[in-house]
Amino acid sequence: MLQRVLIVDDSTMARMLIRRCVEIAGWPDVTFHEASNGKEALTLLGNEQVDLVLTDLNMPEMDGEQLLNVLRKDDKYSNLPLVVITSAGNAPKEEQLRQTGATAILAKPISPAVMATTLESIFGATDGM
């Protein structure tokens, strides 16, 4: 069940757009937490439980790939769904991210339809759809 989402992106606008995509995709009652980089995300994860991490790839201090690596090596977060949202469009990098344990990789700009399909594949259909 998807109830709590952590959005990690250094752009306030991108975080807002991701939040809207999740809501429009059929998950309007989700509690959102936000972080502007991987370090902030790790701090927040130490204090809050989340059901899903949606992270940008390119961020200062700790990027999405570093965050993915840290989470996959920690038993507490090894099975936490993590979706990478990137504008890179780099097939070898995407394969590396999958091998590391990314649950899904979405290309920017994301759409509510793509978000809905991704979330349904991870959590099942919502009652609102």
Burial of 45 (0-12, 13-18, 19+ CB in 10 A): buried
Task: Tell me if the pTM is above 0.85.
Answer: yes
User: Which tens digit of pLDDT belongs to each residue from 37-77?
Assistant: 999 999 999 999 999 999 999 999 999 999 999 999 999 99
Q: For residue 11, is pLDDT > 70?
A: yes
Residues in the chain: 129
Average pLDDT over the chain reads: 92
The DSSP string of 23-70 is HHTT-TT-EEEEESSHHHHHHHHHH---SEEEEES--SSS-HHHHHHH
Residue 94's CB is within 10 A of a number of other CB atoms, namely 17
Q: For the chain, list the domains and their CATH numbers.
A: 4-123 (3.40.50.2300)
What distance separates the 2 farthest-apart alpha carbons in the chain? Answer: 38
